[in-house]
Amino acid sequence: MKIKILISGVLAFTVSLVTSTGIKAQTPKKASTYQVGPWQPVARFANYQSFVKVKILNKTTSSLQYSLTGGDALNAEIPVGGSATLTTNSLPTYVLIYATQQDVALKYDVAAKGNSATVTIRQSNTDPGDTTLNLHESGAIYVY
């Protein structure tokens, strides 16, 4: 009986030693059907059935105009280096953001935490650039 216990202990030790040194952590691979594009959300709200808040930061050299298509429609301006905050509980909605100067392409960088999202607007080297932020009814945030 003592031999069986000793052999079991040695086997368990050997297996744990091999697995702890021989297996490297692997990062999960994307599904083979994944394709980069505007149909992939860039962020998500945690509780999209409540009020959501979007802060827009203007990091361009042009003032920006923005408009909200759902809920309380507005048309306002954000000066260079300025910011604006939108709050809505009317999803889906679209936030249209564009430069007041012609020929300025924009790039939206979106970060979300809880029910708040921060959209940093920068000038883009690619044309036509980003023009629309889609706040989807599922809580997903898309950029077009």
> Residue 129 — left, alpha, or beta (φ > 0 → left; ψ -120 to 50 → alpha)?
left
The band of 40, judged by pLDDT with boundaries at 50, 70 and 90, is confident
CATH 1.20.1260 fits domain 44-143: no
Q: What residue segments make up the domains of the chain, in order of their start? A: 44-143
β-strand 52-58 against 116-123: which pairing, if any?
A: parallel
Q: What percent of the chain has pLDDT over 70?
A: 71
Question: Which pLDDT score, from 0 to 100, does residue 46 have?
Answer: 93
Q: Residue 26 pLDDT > 80, yes or no? A: no
